[in-house]
Amino acid sequence: MTARDASDASMLPSLDRRERDSLLDYGEEVLRAAVTDEPLPKPTTTRLAPVAHVLDARYGAFATLYNAADLRGCIGTFAGSRTLREILPEVIRDAALADYRFGPVTGAELPGISLSLSILARARESSIDRIVLGTHGIIIEVGPKRAVFLPQVAIEQRWDVETTLRMLERKADLPVGSARRPDARILVFESLKVERTDAM
């Protein structure tokens, strides 16, 4: 990854298994601390040094929590002016405690909770005909309303492009067909999914 890429998050990083495990170990520590109301550990420990090039880049991030196969929380933020080091503990905490669709994760649930992290490259303007399901995360914006799906959502749900757009419209509380309005913005982004199969 070049200095330019690290600065503007235009390309995703390449992480080996040890680097992925370091991020997940840290993420699970944050999750436990958030649920048990302890101070969040800072991502500055020596064992995170191998992924410093990722943490210090201005990537976006989503944290997704599962209880068995059921979604338990998902919150994130897009690539912007802050580094992954700054936003990662926040999105993990908020996925556990502040997803309005679910109640806060409890300590009793922790043994069955698994954490998936998505590192997001910077979003870019696109069009419906250029969407590649499974590769692109999709953002739809119409006026003040916005909705987003990570790249894996359409594949997991076995949706085609049109169904994905309808689901985004529903999520944003927009009328059917809003994605094709002249004032609609379609943005896409790529993400790197970091997860393991075993629960905590």
Q: Which two tokens stand for residue 159?
A: 């949706």
* CATH (domain of 139): 3.30.1490.150
pLDDT at 80: 87
Verify that 15 and 114 share a domain, yes or no.
Answer: yes
**Domain total in the chain:** 2
Mean pLDDT of successive 10-residue stretches along the chain, which has 200 residues:
48 90 95 96 82 92 94 93 94 97 95 96 96 96 96 95 98 97 96 76
Is there a domain that residue 197 lies in? no
pLDDT at 197: 61
Verify that 76 and 149 share a domain, yes or no.
Answer: no
